[in-house]
Amino acid sequence: MLKILSTQLTGVFQRISAQEEEQFEDAARLLAQAVISNGTIFIYGIDEMEAVVAEALYGAEKLPNVKRLDIYEVTTADRVLIVSRFCTNEEAIRIAKQLQEQNIWTIGMSSIIEETTQTLVDYVDVHIDLCLKQSLVPTEDGTRVGFPSAIAALFAYHSLALMTQEIVAEYE
């Protein structure tokens, strides 16, 4: 099972890299604007996506001026990153709507699933698809297990942080 999980996870990383390259560039530019203008990058992770918040706040290579989201502190000089498992998460949508009403540049990070109602994608300026729609490892009885959404989000976050750092370095 370990080999299958590793192979499948590598496939998820490759899909994220290939399909979301333009979104990473746009999101990195938005975050770099906040860094360069001494704004704050606020991050909000829902459920297991708190792993991204922990990495952003306490990781070895943090971006400058990163804070956990406090909706009452955000100004138009700031940027917000909202991370949820799926784009249909009601809490993520509610927060994104509120930020949109305040004209705050917002980045969403979640897996896009087919849905007829409004999603996080509809309320953020840039959305990065985590490309994880189902569990990765098939079992003997035909079911699937292993849904590493936080790992996919951490990969996307690190990719975004590296691109942001590169843009900031070019500016300096």
83-138 confidence digits (pLDDT tens): 999 999 999 999 999 999 999 999 999 999 987 789 999 999 999 999 999 889 88
Any idea which residue has 């490892």 for tokens? 137
- Kindly report the pTM of this predicted structure: 0.95
Residue 88: the pLDDT is: 95
Q: How far apart are CA 109 and CA 144, in angstroms?
A: 24
> CA angle, corner 160, sides to 76 and 5, nearest 5?
140
